[in-house]
Each structure stands twice: as structure tokens, then as C-alpha cells.
Amino acid sequence: MAQSRLTSIASLESTIASLEQNLRQLKNDLETLKAQDRDQQASVQDVVPDLTDNTLDGNQITPPSLGLEEYRRYGRQMILPGFGLPGQLKLKHAKVLIVGAGGLGCPAAVYLAGAGIGTIGLVDGDTVELSNLHRQIIHASDKIGTKKVESATSYLRRLNPKPAYIEHPYHLTPTNALDVFHNYDVILDCTDHPTSRYLISDAAQLCRKMLITASATKTDGQLMSLCHNWDNQPCYRCIFPKPPSSENVQSCSESGILGPAVGVMGTLMAVEAIKHIMQFGAYNPDGEFYWESSPALTPTLLLYSAFENVPFRTTYRTKQRKDCALCSSNPSITRQSLESGSMDYEVFCGVRVPINILPDHQRISAQTFNDQVRNGSKCITLDDEKESPCKSTSNKSYILLDVREPQDFAMCSIAGSVNLPFSLIQKAKAKQDPEQRAEPSDKPETDPLRKLQGLLHDIPHVNKYFVCRYGNDSQLAVRYFLDLLDEGKRKSASVDEEDGMAEDNRVIWDIEGGLRAWSKVDPTFPEY
């Protein structure tokens, strides 16, 4: 009985605690609703006194629609020449869509929200990662794993609760772009890849929306405004009819990015949006924003180089192209082709996906490399002056070539690996003449490419392993050095009946997945 009574008491105490917790939550919800109701009442009551009965020079004065708090909040920009109450109301009635809540979108969103843009939409399907935080200033460490649009709107509401924030927590696609763009006046392209830039430009042109597009890589950036909402203005395709080659397209994770540099470009995007809204925007009595005038703007491209003595330059761009696939009189890109999905932007831009150009027998997993090679073989280097590896033909010896660039190699590397920058291999490959390819460099004794070319021929049975960051460049390096081997010898090489490998091919391997895969084998290896 005593045990049963104690159980009942514990059960009742648990139930009461749960109910008290629910009650506290309900009280908090009630206070939140009351606060929202007070804010709504203030926005109606705490306005500048109604002036509808007053006249000035016989004309009725339209009552302002800013609350007292908004006057205090935006007053420092309202006193600027050309702003005033009419300018602030233009901003309040404008709707701006930011595509990409990353390095460009974060500062743009912050300053647009601070300026009082009435409606701000954010499109992004990604989640916050630790590597984002050095440049994506809206997000914080406690938001890692959160949807970027949720993290962004949470920050913006704390900064300025007045605007309406609309979340689009998904990636922009040809099938949804037109529907999303339809409800906005200005589009900010804050993405980082040609596929999205062409898609956004196409959709903005078809919806007749103003587009502000920017990009940033390393310490450089560029910015351009495209007035798709007016006639006879060029689109993105007029200026860049062909996308850059996939070899020249790198993401921030590949090329690197300086946080303040991309921040400058994002801030300038906000400035451009505010400038165009202030200069050419208007609104009707119902509060609907529209474009009031059609200026003959000269398209310009702003270039920014953070570490140059003169960091900003402006170039003039081409006018509308008569044969443009998008905005000419006979376009091949239409609303129907976009919505149907027949326009393949990845094919158009030649998107570079993870490559797989080597047969399986010339690739090795990071785990196998660690278990079977590093733990049972001797690692040799190109700089071994005391004991030349060329004297050894043991299959137990190996050399590990890291084809990342020197600054990456200096950050972290597998013990014993040798740096052979892929840029050197590309330069050698660019020389189509085999005789030129074999020419010695100015300093052959310090040229790792030259040393390795000799090593391939002098010690054909020493295993050579190539590694890069992700496992793409290393495959290309393996292919290049296989091509350097004597073609006749490779064709006549004996084939191992057991695994079907040519004898000369056996000693050159690519480590699958690169250092990203190696970091899973060695948890102490930095992943960046």
C-alpha cells in the first residue's frame, strides 16, 4: 500500500509540473499576442496627426502613413536630400527578393531591412554550416544546421520587426522561379554559380523585374543592375551570351573568399536597390508599388579588387543584342520553355560534376591506402639527396603526390607527401608539342614536375599515389602522367591475368575522394 501511495503521489506531482509548464507557456503566448496587438494599435494611433482637413495652396495634403517609431527609426536617412517622407514610403511599399542567404545575401538583407523595405523575401534551400560563418554575418554558431532562410529572418526580425519577411526555404528552379518572382519588384541575385545567374536573369526578364546581380571570389567582386522592367535594356545574356568554361568556375570552397570583400559587394547590392527604388519607384493610394519612369540607363559593370591601390573600376557594357536568346524579337527562351523544364541550365553552363575518368583498378580508397600502403611501405620523396629512390625497384616503396596549390598544401598535408601543384601540370599539358613538354625548366633541380617526369621513367615499379582535396584534380594528374609513359611500352605491356591490369599502369594510383575522404580515415586531419 505504501509503495502504491508513493507511486500515486509521484504521478500527481509529475502531472502538476507538466500542467504548470503548459500554463507558463500559455501565459507567454498570451503576452506575445498582447504585445503584437499593442504594436498594431500603435501603428494606427501613433501616427503624425491627421492632416486630411488641412490644405496648402488649395491642395489637400495626403496624411503620412509612418508611425512615430518609424520616424525615429528611419529619421537619419529621411533627412538625406531626395529622401524625406515620400522616399521612405517608396521603400515601405517596395518588395525585394533576395535569392541566396549567403555571403552576398546576408549584408544585402541586413541593410535593406534596416532601411525599411516593406517586404523582403529570401530564397535558399541550404542549411547553415560552420564554414559559412566567417562571411555570412546574419548566421551564428547556434544556428548551425538550421535552414538559412529561418536563421536570416530570425536575425532580421530582431533588427527591425516592421518589414514583412517571407521565407522560401527551397532552391530556385526553372519550374518555380516565375511564380516566386511574380510577387516582387526588385530581384537580388546573391548566388554563386553561372547556372543560377542565367536562370535568375531569364526569370527576371520574363517577369519584367529589375535585377541586381553580383558575384565575389577570392578578394574580387563585380556588380551590375539590369533593368528588365524597361524596354530596350540588355539582359544578362546580352552581356554574357556564353557562360564561362567549367574549368574557370570555382565555388568559394574551391577558390577561397575574403569575408569583407563579399560583404562589400552585398552592401553595394542593397545600395543599388535603394537607389533605383528612390529614383524611379512610386506607389498608388492602395500602397501598390510601381515603376514610374523609364530612363535610358547605360549598362555598367562595377569591378572591385580589395587589395588593389584603386579598388573600384567601372566598365560600360554592350547594349541589347538583336540575336539574344532571351530578349530579342524572336527569343528561344520563353515562359513555356522555362516552366516546362526544357531549358537545362547545367548542360548550357557545362557544369562540372565529380569526375570519374579512371578505371577502378587505377583508384584506391583512402582507407585501403592507409591500411595497405602507409602501414606497410616506405614513403620516399623527391628531395632525398642521400639515398636516391631511383636505385630502388621495390613494390614496397611509394611516393605520395599532393596536387593542391602551395597555399593549400601549407595548411595541412598527409605526412610524407610531396606538393606537385596541379597548375604546373596544366601548364605542361597546355604545351601540345611533346618536345616542348619535355623541355627542362630554368631550374630543373628544383622543379617538382621535372623531377617526377624523370622518376616515372627511372623507377617504374615504385608506386605513385596522387591526392587532391576532393578527388577530381588528382584523377586528371594520373591521366596526364599515364600519357607521359611510353605509348609503345604501355600497349605491349604484359597484362596480369588475375586482375587485368597492365603492368606499367599498376604503379600509378588516384586516392578516391581526396583529402575529404582521408579526413574520415584520420579524424585529426583538418577539413576545410
For position 108, what pLDDT does the model report?
98
Q: Does 124 show up as a binding residue in the annotation?
A: yes
Is 106 one of the annotated active-site residues of the chain? no
192 in a labelled binding site: yes
DSSP state of 216: E
Q: What share of the chain is helix, strand, coil (3-state, %, to 5)?
A: 45, 15, 40
Cell of 250: 570555382
193 carries a ligand binding annotation: yes
Annotated ligand binding at 412? The verdict is: no
Whole-number Å distance between alpha carbons of 377 and 250:
36
Nine-digit cell at 193?
554559380
Q: According to the annotation, is 148 in a ligand binding site?
A: yes
Q: What is the pLDDT of residue 447?
A: 61
Determine if residue 266 is labeled as part of a ligand binding site. no
Q: What is the pLDDT of residue 496?
A: 46
Q: Could you read off the pLDDT tens digit of each residue along the chain, which spans 528 residues?
A: 556 665 677 777 777 777 776 776 676 666 666 655 555 554 444 444 443 344 434 444 444 589 999 999 999 999 999 899 999 999 999 999 999 999 999 999 999 999 999 999 999 999 999 999 999 999 999 999 999 999 999 999 999 999 999 999 999 999 899 999 999 999 999 998 888 999 999 999 999 999 999 999 999 999 999 886 677 788 899 888 888 765 556 666 667 889 999 999 999 999 999 999 998 899 888 888 988 876 667 778 999 999 999 999 999 877 788 888 898 888 889 898 888 877 778 767 765 556 678 888 889 999 999 887 777 677 766 655 334 443 444 556 788 999 999 989 999 999 989 898 988 888 777 664 444 444 444 454 456 666 666 666 666 667 889 999 988 889 988 888 887 765 545 444 444 434 433 444 457 889 999 999 999 999 999 988
Identify the pLDDT of residue 378.
72
In sequence order, what E strands does 204-325 have?
Answer: 210-217, 220-227, 281-283, 289-291, 300-305, 312-316
> 238: annotated binding-site residue?
yes
Look at residue 149 in the predicted model and tell me its pLDDT.
Answer: 97
Q: For 65-349, CATH number?
A: 3.40.50.720
The pLDDT value recorded for residue 227 is 82
**Which whole-number Å values give the CA distances from 494 to 18, 359, 364, 459, 498, in the listed order?**
77, 18, 22, 17, 12
Q: At what angle do helices 448-458 and 422-430 cross, to 10 degrees?
A: 80
Residue 152: name the closest of 95, 98, 100, 101 by CA: 101
Residues of the chain with CATH 3.40.50.720: 65-349
CATH 3.40.250.10 positions along the chain are: 360-521
Instruction: Indicate the pairing of strand 463-467 with strand 397-402.
Output: parallel
User: Is there a binding annotation on residue 22?
Assistant: no
132 annotated ligand-binding residue: yes
* Annotated binding-site residue? 455: no
Taking CA atoms, 473 is separated from 332, 391, 459, 513, in Å, by 36, 30, 24, 10
Can you say whether residue 512 is alpha, beta or left, with left for phi > 0 and alpha for psi between -120 and 50 degrees?
A: beta
Length of the chain, in residues: 528
Q: 106, 207, 227, 468: which one is catalytic?
A: 468
Q: Report in angstroms the alpha-carbon separations of 65 from 46, 69, 233, 401.
A: 10, 12, 34, 67
* 455 alpha-carbon distance from chain centroid: 40
Query: Which residue in 196, 113, 213 sits closest to 159, CA to CA?
Result: 113
Q: Which residues, in sequence order, are CB contacts of 80 under 8 Å at separation 6+?
A: none
pTM of the entire predicted model: 0.68
134 assigned binding-site residue: yes
CATH of domain 360-521: 3.40.250.10
Whether 103 has a binding-site annotation, put simply, is yes
Category of 471 on φ-ψ map: left (φ > 0), alpha (ψ -120 to 50) or beta: left
Classify residue 243 by its DSSP letter: P
Query: Which residue of the set 106, 190, 252, 412 is catalytic?
Result: 252
Establish whether 133 is an annotated binding residue.
yes
Q: Supply the pLDDT for residue 12.
A: 72
